[in-house]
Amino acid sequence: MVSPHPHPAPPLADALVEIEQHVGAAGWDQPPQIFALVATAELVAAEPEFAASMGLPLDEIPPGALTPIEQEPLTAGPLDEALAQIMWPAEVRGCCLVHEVVLLPPDAEAEMPHAPDPLAYAARHPQRREARVVVAVLRDGSRATAVRFRSDGSQDTGLIKVEEELLVGEDLAPNLSEALLATLF
């Protein structure tokens, strides 16, 4: 279920949700993944055979529709350094990053000792929440973010694990949005 927040433009939000569902189908504990966002109409015009093989509608493309194209894995190391190495060609309208994070409540962050490895501290903290953060940006500055928290097992039905709802908003991760925008220019 997608929850209401200030909503980004429908084509960007549609691509964002599609990407989150695609990555989510592979489960949790995935490395960061990046996608190019291209105009579906331009893709169909330039590559009609490819578009047909991917099931893209050749005659009924919604205005502004975006097609995500999964890219090679990011280089190992800090995420900011990997993003700093990316430069997109002009045909790419935008990009999307999927990244799993560990979140702590504000009081737990304030109590964090100045440990040599704050990630290890966060990963072991009893109040941590794991989340999949999906951030998409376009060259015009449009942004969209989705967050899905990892189930703690309390919603386990015995048959399947029910993930918590997908929270979608315009800019729930502003620093990550800015870093992605920088890859487009």
The predicted-structure confidence for 139-158, as pLDDT tens digits, reads as follows: 999 999 999 999 865 444 44
pLDDT > 50? residue 2: no
pLDDT > 80? residue 3: no
The one-character DSSP state at 159 is S
- Run of H or E residues at 143: strand 143-149
pTM, to two decimals: 0.82
pLDDT of 153 reads 59
The predicted-structure confidence for 60-116, as pLDDT tens digits, reads as follows: 788 899 999 999 999 889 999 999 999 999 999 999 999 999 888 788 777 777 766
